[in-house]
């Protein structure tokens, strides 16, 4: 636990979003911590680095999901308080670790003590799509777990909870406790990343995701006409592997086209072709049962446009014609 109370950088971020965003430049927020360490699907380390260094291509843009979250958070928090018979308190605003002024966060709400938990806590509100319910039922996603642990560290609190609203009408509560062993490893890792990439200004590596590649192109929009000799062992090994993968993909695409044509001819104008219920493929957790296959036909020549495989519970698209 930090030895001193947190530094309050801005007490009411909602009243001054522009100032809140400005104060975050050059610092690492709790919500960005998972991203810089590569534990988030939302942004790559390179994308987050651009935001942290004030080079976000859309610094003032809030997407629809972010705006919905801001407007719905108070209502979801009050709903959670009623459901759990708890009392909440306002966010302290944008706060910073006094021993690490670069580490900041804006908790959603505080939880006041009650008979069940006689100490203060932190409440994080999440408004998510129903498709993510199964993920949360196993455990909170890594990025959100890291975020809450850092809020507990910054605000010097021992417990917290996620108020997660699925699809706008299914509210669940996930109680979490401060994990000092986890924080003892997390904080030094974040400090090393901050020192290397923010203080020293070293650009994080490209991860290969679409967002990461877009960030790289933003940083390097033009070539300089120079030539780089790619002669290292890794250069040669990966170049050979790249060619092998390209060749394999070409063969697989050719084979896929033949299989699709075969089933299109077998089904003709029928809606479904049904396999035996005993037909399975894969091993272990990846083992699946093929129930039926369906082609959405084009008007000319009945060529397959989309194919579906049904596991008797949901219909999932598995291939699409280019």
Domain with CATH 3.90.320.10 in the chain: 7-219
The yes/no answer on whether domain 7-219 falls in CATH 3.90.320.10 is: yes
287 Cβ contact partners less than 8 Å away, ≥ 6 residues apart:
280, 281
In the chain, % of residues over pLDDT 90:
47
Residue 259 has pLDDT above 90, yes or no: no
Instruction: Supply the pLDDT for residue 62.
Output: 60
Say if pTM beats, i.e. exceeds, 0.75: no
Give the model confidence (pLDDT) of 273-301 as tens digits.
777 765 655 555 555 555 556 555 433 33
Instruction: Supply the pLDDT for residue 220.
Output: 80
Q: What are the C-alpha distances in Å from 297 to residues 34, 129, 163, 211, 305?
A: 44, 31, 45, 34, 6
219 Cβ contact partners less than 8 Å away, ≥ 6 residues apart:
50, 55, 203
Give the model confidence (pLDDT) of 202-224 as tens digits.
999 888 788 888 888 888 887 77
Residue 241 structure tokens: 């592997």
Report how far residue 102's alpha carbon sits from residue 61's, in angstroms, rounded to the nearest whole number: 23
């Amino acid at each position: 636990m930090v030895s001193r109370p947190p530094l309050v950088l801005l007490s009411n971020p909602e009243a001054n979003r522009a100032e809140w965003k400005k104060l975050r430049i050059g610092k690492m927020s709790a919500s960005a911590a998972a991203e810089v360490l590569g534990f988030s699907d939302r942004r790559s380390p390179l994308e987050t680095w651009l935001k942290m260094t004030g080079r976000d291509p859309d610094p003032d843009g809030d997407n629809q999901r972010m705006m919905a979250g801001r407007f719905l958070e108070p209502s979801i928090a009050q709903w959670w308080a009623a459901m759990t018979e708890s009392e909440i308190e306002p966010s302290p605003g944008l706060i910073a670790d006094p021993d690490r002024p670069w580490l900041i966060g804006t908790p959603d709400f505080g939880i006041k003590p009650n008979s069940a938990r006689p100490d203060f806590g932190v409440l994080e509100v999440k408004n998510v799509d129903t498709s993510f319910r199964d993920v949360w039922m196993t455990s909170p996603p890594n990025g959100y777990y890291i975020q809450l642990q850092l809020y507990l560290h910054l605000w010097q609190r021992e417990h917290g909870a996620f108020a997660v609203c699925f699809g706008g009408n299914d509210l669940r509560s996930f109680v979490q406790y401060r994990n000092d062993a986890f924080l003892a490893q997390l904080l030094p890792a974040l400090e090393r990343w901050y020192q290397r990439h923010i203080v020293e200004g070293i650009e994080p590596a490209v991860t290969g995701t679409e967002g990461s590649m877009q960030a790289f192109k933003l940083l390097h929009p033009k070539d300089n006409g120079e030539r780089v000799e790619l002669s290292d062992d890794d250069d040669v090994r990966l170049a050979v592997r790249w060619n092998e993968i390209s060749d394999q993909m070409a063969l697989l695409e050719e084979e896929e086209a033949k299989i699709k044509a075969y089933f299109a001819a077998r089904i003709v104008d029928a809606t479904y072709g049904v396999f035996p219920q005993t037909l399975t493929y894969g091993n272990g957790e990846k083992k699946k049962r093929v129930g039926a296959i369906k082609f959405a036909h084009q008007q000319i020549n009945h060529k397959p446009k989309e194919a579906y495989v049904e596991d008797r519970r949901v219909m999932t698209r598995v291939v699409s014609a280019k």
